[in-house]
Amino acid sequence: MVAQWGVVIVAAGKGTRMGTAESKQYLALQDKPILVHTLELFQSLADTKAITLVVGEHDIDRCRNWVTQYGLDKVTAVVSGGAERQHSVHLGLKALPADIEWVMVHDGVRPLVTAEAVRRGCEAAVRAGASVLAVPVKDTIKQVNEAGVIVATPDRQSLWAIQTPQAFRRALLTHAHEEAEAEGFVGTDDAMVVERLGVPVVVAEGDYTNIKITTPEDLPYATFLLEMRKPL
């Protein structure tokens, strides 16, 4: 039996590095908002059963309007986020239909993830219980102290840049979030809250084009990548 997936799209952050009055997830990328590109990808996947969209409280109405405007009928809930990304994910998990067994968590500002990469991540999660998309680090990485002095050079072969979606058995991720909330722990991604339970999280290879749109120079690059994907 093919797993049916729920997807939590996290788009509640304001983001200051873009330097715009508008939150980055709502900026236009070609002819539509960045967030809509992201939602359309998961809408198109046959294994997606339901999508929960987590946004800022004041953005709920316009996002619900976009759900209707763009025919995103797999979006079953648009909910307000929490103080931290982790809290927003937990709220999104709770809003998914009760019968969803597997879940992906994805950044709303990663509109260029491919269906093939999502499939690799989901297959890895079904095998292992938890997976993240990631790509090998290309650059040499230095660990630097508060004074700006290099203190270590980790082996590049062991370093991967982590992406989303991250995929999990829902019961596992829910338990991990409940434990983190009870203990006041806040991690930087969902894999981190699962890892602290001692549960292995495997890596599935992503794509270098699965960029997170964060700073002004990311927008023209994202536009270029979209143009490259158009059929000749």
The pLDDT value recorded for residue 16 is 59
CATH classification at residue 19: 3.90.550.10
Which residue range forms the structural domain that includes residue 81? Answer: 5-133+160-229
The pLDDT value recorded for residue 1 is 43
Query: Model-level pTM?
Result: 0.94
Count structural domains, the chain. Answer: 1
Could you tell me the mean pLDDT of each successive run of 10 residues in the chain, 232 residues long?
Answer: 86 69 86 96 97 96 97 98 95 97 97 97 97 96 97 94 98 98 95 97 97 93 91 67
Which residue, among 69, 76, 85, has the nearest Cα to 51 in the 3D structure? 76
The pLDDT value recorded for residue 146 is 97
146 domain-assigned: no
Type of residue found at 1: M
**What does the block give as tokens for 213?**
């749109």
9 domain-assigned: yes
150 domain-assigned: no
The pLDDT value recorded for residue 3 is 76
Residue 5: partners with Cβ closer than 8 Å, 6 or more residues away: 45, 47, 48, 49, 100, 102, 103, 104, 122, 167
The pLDDT value recorded for residue 23 is 82
148 domain-assigned: no
Direct distance between the N- and C-terminal alpha carbons of the chain, in angstroms, rounded to an integer? 37
101 domain-assigned: yes
98 domain-assigned: yes
186 domain-assigned: yes
216 domain-assigned: yes
The pLDDT value recorded for residue 20 is 66
Type of residue found at 124: A
